[in-house]
Amino acid sequence: MSEKVADAKMPVRRFANDDDLPIVDRVLAGDTQAFEELVRRHERRIYRTAFAITGNPEDAEDAMQDTFLKVYQHLGEFQRASRFTTWLTRIAVNEGLQRLRRRRKTESLDDPVMSEEDIMPRQVEDWRDNPEKAYATQEIRQFVEEAIRSLPPAYRVVFVLRDVEELSTEEAAEALGLTISALKSRLLRARLMVREALAARFGRPAGQKSEM
């Protein structure tokens, strides 16, 4: 690819557990099939991240395609100071944001102004026992999807990266360009909002006694 490849082969610090790196090396050596392998490993997660930001399937697909095209063209610039997946996610976040801003000029991943009142839980009744057993998996999946979709983008993307895609706090913060404390504060709010949305489905019907 580019002459910057040489730099990439002398990393600042390698992440010993980054199992993408051998594939990255094959791509840099010109193996296009290796790139397709890399894409297959990450496409689901990258689409999911882009969808969390844009909230729109067409924009998410477009952002995902452009993310992988950019990654292919700029792979030699990957410095390996973070895991490959973090670097890739950061590119996807930027692609998603560009499309979000095109659609909604005022939209950003900045923290919306929210008061403490906004995050104070409102649904205070207990949930029915084993709510996940009262519905089919497909129904529960739909409730979860709806709950996530109802969040503002700044919270939705944090929730998806941390609790759906299970990135670490540090990785999610790096991918989003946030400090650890900002990430944690949004994660708390996001979790409480998802809880609130699910409580509407799983709250205990009046009169049902807890077995706990």
Partner 1 sequence: MLDCKHVLAELSNYLDAEVSPELKRVIEEHLAGCHRCSLFYDTTRKTLKIVTEVGPFELPLDISGRLHARLRELFAGR
Nearest to 148 by CA among 195, 205, 199: 195
Residue 97 vs 183, nearer CB to partner 1: 183
d(CA 31, CA 47): 24
Q: Is residue 43 close enough to count as binding partner 1 by CB under 8 A?
A: yes
> 117, 124, 207, 211: which one contacts partner 1 (CB under 8 A)?
124
Residue 106 CB, shortest distance to partner 1, in Å, is: 28
End-to-end CA distance of the chain: give it in Å, rounded.
61
Structure tokens at 19: 């199992």
Applying CB under 8 A, what is the total number of residues that bind partner 1?
43
Q: Residue type at 135?
A: Y
Q: Give yes or no for a contact between 49 and 160, defined as CB atoms under 8 angstroms apart.
A: yes
Q: Is residue 113 close enough to count as binding partner 1 by CB under 8 A?
A: no
Structure tokens at 87: 């670097």
Residue 90 CB, shortest distance to partner 1, in Å, is: 19
Q: Is residue 70 close enough to count as binding partner 1 by CB under 8 A?
A: no
Q: Is residue 206 close enough to count as binding partner 1 by CB under 8 A?
A: no
Nearest to 99 by CA among 154, 149, 51, 45: 51
- Residue recorded with tokens 């409580």: 199
DSSP string, 65-125: HHHHHHHHHHGGG---SS-HHHHHHHHHHHHHHHHHHHH-TT--SSPPP--HHHHS----S
Q: Residue type at 45?
A: R
> 17, 106, 115, 137: which one contacts partner 1 (CB under 8 A)?
137
Structure tokens at 195: 């809880």
Q: Is residue 184 close enough to count as binding partner 1 by CB under 8 A?
A: yes
Task: Identify which range of 2-10, 59-67, 94-102, 103-111 contacts partner 1 by CB under 8 A.
Answer: 59-67
> 28, 154, 173, 187: which one contacts partner 1 (CB under 8 A)?
187
Residue 45 vs 83, nearer CB to partner 1: 45
The residues binding partner 1 (CB under 8 A) are 32, 35-36, 39-40, 43-44, 47-48, 61, 64-65, 68-69, 72, 116, 120-121, 123-127, 131-132, 137, 140-141, 144-145, 163-164, 169, 184, 187-188, 191-192, 194-195, 198-199, 202
